[in-house]
Structure 1
């Protein structure tokens, strides 16, 4: 059982993240920049485990909108990024909270189709577009490699949000990764997925 202090700190962290999320989304929306919340906080917004949320905010934007998004957020007071080249994301800070504008997750450009699949969900007293659980899992499983094989976090998320997942799409879009197949096989054995293998038969 976790101590009371841990729970209090977690609530404070979530409250601060909520403020940053709503502020960031409002700024992008006011500047007509399509976006969608992703990462652990997005999964928490969908009903996932609070314990997996870290002190950062990840927001998807199209590559063509990155420069405008950065300018709008900097003008609103977020600390501008350091001049470090990154092929996937650019980082700003809202006080001490990290805000990543992700434009090419795992080297796949954010598209209109990806943003269109996001659903507008309650975030505090407002709403924000949130990526689907399937899109989140695809991004996470795509980068699995021999150095990133601790699936504990993804297991907790998949278990709690199983009913929201398009498992067929997750399987199809991660089929090339043996690590993704191993993880999905584990979920099949645990009864978390729909139990359907790539060829359409039911897993046993």
Structure 2
């Protein structure tokens, strides 16, 4: 029996995390799989990790030294770990900003597919997902199940403060208010 694409992504996620742990590279699971660990639906595409911008080169070397296939895409803010038709993104910039230690330090070590690894806090997951919204990518249908699933774990006031300059994120938060997914904000 051939492994499914989901099995392939899950295996690659675990192998990437173990390599980063063994290489003593500070990291955190982020994106859809971080949301999944915290109760959101499982994503149907890649997995994502954050590493410190200052550790980007070392992270790529650690992954390659662990026998993983590391590809350097055209983007200058990530590497891809590839296996078959699946990949894991290892990012050192998110939303146009270098990953800083406080984001990773706030992560919580949780079991993910039997591997203990740092996972972004729910508030940080939502903030990074919302800050990625722009005129080229504005898919609220992917965000709504995440917001619903994580709503009790998220500091929505912090989310609002962090994304207030992104009009796409602001509109999504208004949608969440109107759907009674999150507590309504008081009129200013």
Q: TM-score, normalised by structure 2?
A: 0.90
Deviations 1:82-129 (A, max 9, x none): 4x4423212221333212110011211111110011111121222211
- Distance in 2, matches of 1:178 and 1:56, equals 26
Whether 1:154 aligns to 2:146 is: no
Whether 1:165 aligns to 2:154 is: yes
Counterpart in the other structure of 2:30? 38
Q: TM-score, normalised by structure 1?
A: 0.83
- Distance in 1, matches of 2:161 and 2:94, equals 18
Say what the alpha-carbon RMSD is for the aligned residues: 2.1
Contact map agreement 1:120 1:129 (CA 8 A) in 2: yes
SS at match of 2:111: strand
Find the structure with the greater CA-based Rg: 1
Contact map agreement 1:78 1:95 (CA 8 A) in 2: no
Deviations 1:11-43 (A, max 9, x none): 944433222222111111111101000111111
Show structure 2 runs of 5+ residues with no match. none
Counterpart in the other structure of 2:117? 128
Whether 1:67 aligns to 2:57 is: yes
Higher relative contact order (CA 8 A, sep 6+): 2
Counterpart in the other structure of 1:80? 70
What are the within-5 Å matches in structure 2 for residues 98-137 of structure 1? Answer: 98-137=87-126
SS at match of 2:95: helix
Runs of 4+ in 1 over 6 A off after TM superposition: none
Deviations 1:153-173 (A, max 9, x none): 101110111111111111001
How many matched pairs? 187
Q: CA deviation at 1:202?
A: 6.3
Counterpart in the other structure of 1:20? 12
Q: CA deviation at 1:132?
A: 1.8
Higher fraction of strand: 2
